[in-house]
C-alpha cells in the first residue's frame, strides 16, 4: 500500500506503507502532527515529524501520603491519657477515642503520665490497675494533687481483686470499673468523657 504525502519542500511523492511499520511517521498536508505518546517523544522540524527510539515508559510518581502516628496528638485536640502496659488492649481504646474525636497518649510510668497531662487538653485519664501497684498508686496520687479542673480519672481492674479496686477508689478516682464493664462501655465512656461512669 502506498500513500501520497507532501514533504517540507512542497513536493509530493509516494511512500511505502512499510516505512510506517519501520517507525517513520509522516505529516499529512493540512493535518496536525500526531500527539506524543507515553515513553515515545516526538521531534518536530519544519513540518517533518520523526519518531525517536522508544524510551523508558512513563511512570506516575505518587504524592507522599500522610501517615498517622499514634501517640502524637494534633494541637488543639482533646486527648485521653492511658496509664497501661497492655499493648494488646490499646487499639480498642484508640478506636473508641478516635470515634469520640479525641487523640490517645499512653504512658507506662506516673512521671510520663503527668508530663503528658501538663502539655495536652485532657478531659479523661484511664488507669489500668493490672499494672504494678506502686506505678498506678503513684499515678493516682499525682493526679489527685495536680490534675486540671474538669479532668475525670477512671480506673479499671480485675473483678477478682476487690482490695485493689477499693484502694484505687480511696486514692481519689472519679470511678472504678471492673474490666468487663469497662470494656463493654468503652465507646460510651470516651464519648461522654467519663461522665457515663460517674452518673
Domains of the chain plus CATH, in order, are 2-51 (no CATH), 78-198 (3.40.50.2300)
Cα gap 85→108, rounded to integer Å: 6
SS3 category, 79 = strand
* Model confidence band, residue 199 (pLDDT cutoffs 50, 70, 90): confident
Position 43 pLDDT exceeds 90: no
**Residue 138 CB-half CA count within 13 A:** 13
Torsion of CA 131, 134, 140, 144, to 10 degrees: -170
71-105 per-residue burial string, b: 16 or more CB within 10 A, e: under 16: eebeeeebbbbbbbeeeebbeebbebbeebebbbb
Please state the rounded mean pLDDT for residues 24-35.
Answer: 46
113 within 8 A of 107, measured Cβ to Cβ: yes
pTM over 0.95, yes/no: no
Instruction: State pLDDT tens for residues 99-119.
Output: 999 999 999 999 999 999 998
Query: Which residues fall within 8 angstroms of residue 148, CB to CB, at 6 or more apart?
Result: 117, 122
Please state the rounded mean pLDDT for residues 40-57.
Answer: 46
Amino acid at each position: 500500500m502506498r500513500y501520497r504525502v507532501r514533504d517540507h519542500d512542497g513536493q509530493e511523492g509516494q511512500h511505502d506503507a512499510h516505512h510506517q511499520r519501520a517507525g517513520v511517521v509522516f505529516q499529512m498536508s493540512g493535518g496536525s502532527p500526531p500527539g506524543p505518546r507515553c515513553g515515545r517523544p516526538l521531534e518536530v522540524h519544519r513540518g517533518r515529524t520523526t519518531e525517536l527510539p522508544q524510551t523508558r515508559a512513563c511512570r506516575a510518581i505518587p504524592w507522599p501520603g500522610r501517615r498517622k502516628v499514634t501517640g502524637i496528638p494534633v494541637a488543639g485536640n482533646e486527648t485521653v491519657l492511658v496509664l497501661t502496659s497492655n499493648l494488646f488492649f490499646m487499639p480498642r481504646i484508640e478506636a473508641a477515642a478516635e470515634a469520640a474525636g479525641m487523640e490517645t497518649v499512653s504512658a507506662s510510668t506516673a512521671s510520663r503520665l503527668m508530663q503528658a497531662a501538663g502539655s495536652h487538653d485532657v478531659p479523661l485519664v484511664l488507669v489500668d490497675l493490672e499494672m504494678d501497684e506502686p506505678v498506678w498508686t503513684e499515678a493516682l496520687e499525682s493526679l489527685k494533687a495536680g490534675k486540671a479542673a474538669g479532668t475525670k480519672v477512671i480506673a479499671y481492674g480485675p473483678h477478682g481483686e476487690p482490695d485493689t479496686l477499693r484502694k484505687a477508689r480511696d486514692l481519689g478516682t472519679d470511678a472504678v470499673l471492673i474490666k468487663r464493664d469497662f470494656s463493654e462501655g468503652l465507646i460510651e465512656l470516651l464519648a461522654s468523657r467519663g461522665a457515663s461512669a460517674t452518673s
